Amino acid sequence: MKERVRVLDDNVARWGDPNVAVTSADPVAFARLGGFFDIIVADVPCSGEGMFRKDPRAEAEWSPAVVTLCAARQKRILADVWPALREGGILVYSTCTYEDAENDANLRWAAEELGGEVIPPEDEFPESGVRLTSCGNLLKVGEVPGEGQWVGAMRKTSGAPASRNASAASSDAAARALAEVIRPVRSGVVKGVRKGTDFVPDPDWALSLEYDPAAYPAAEVDLKTALHFLHRDTIVLPDAPMGYNTVNYDGIPLGFVKNLGRRCNNLHPNGRRILMDI
């Protein structure tokens, strides 16, 4: 969803793995990639009973009609993404509600109607308050430390084989076709952009697992300066060379500044800045 994708994109950037694509598209967009994925995790919109303690709006918006609506929407999502899962692949299905109609019943429906088998849940965390249901595991508020949720899994027993068995040319064509419809917000990591004679490093490049520490000088700072950088304040690095530097705390790059001598231009994205007072 468009209102959520930017938050996801920021979290992926902080994670630093360059082998991740972030998209904003309806699940049906993936259906054309027959058997492309080994694993699909469908964390679907739900009636939100597990969020009642955390978000009073979730309780106010709940009704039996919402449960019915969500169950139908979840079936649609499962049916839409199912063709993209290879035969033998695993679908992980999760919600943040306690409703059987949205949890076990929907996973059983998917197994029967789409062609799969439910993977029997195991009682792995009884000491943590995790309950077993017929098709998955349930976490209830008050019985576990966090919020409420449910998760189950199934294996695809029929349908498209894995696309890895297709030719490289057809796989490349499928990937290009996918890129046209899923509207990727992120695909890998951009190192930067050229502005006139200046190459401006992208903030995400400093966070990437593939970042080369020798690419730019590193300015090691104390905790207070690191927090001011993340607050997107103007900082001064008198001992750093002029031009672009990474700001490092405890050896970890936090992002880039352009050192102008008396001050630094802070390249930390405004949308990720620490909002609390420093």
Q: Give the catalytic positions in this structure.
A: 96
Instruction: Tell me the H-state helices in the chain.
Output: 2-15, 56-61, 64-81, 104-110, 168-182, 203-207, 223-230
Cα separation values, 180 from 25, 32, 74, 120, 174, Å: 11, 12, 25, 37, 10
The b/e string for 70-98 (b: 16+ C-beta within 10 A; e otherwise) is bbeebbebbbbbbbbbbbebbbebbbbbb
Phi-psi label, residue 272: left if phi above 0, alpha if psi -120 to 50, beta otherwise: alpha
Tokens 């690191």 belong to 226
259 neighbors 245 (Cβ within 8 angstroms): yes
Distance CA(250)–CA(146), nearest Å, equals 30
Q: Phi, psi (5° rounding) for residue 253?
A: -65, 130
H/E segment holding residue 201 = strand 198-201
Q: What is the CA radius of gyration of the chain?
A: 23
Amino acid at site 37: F
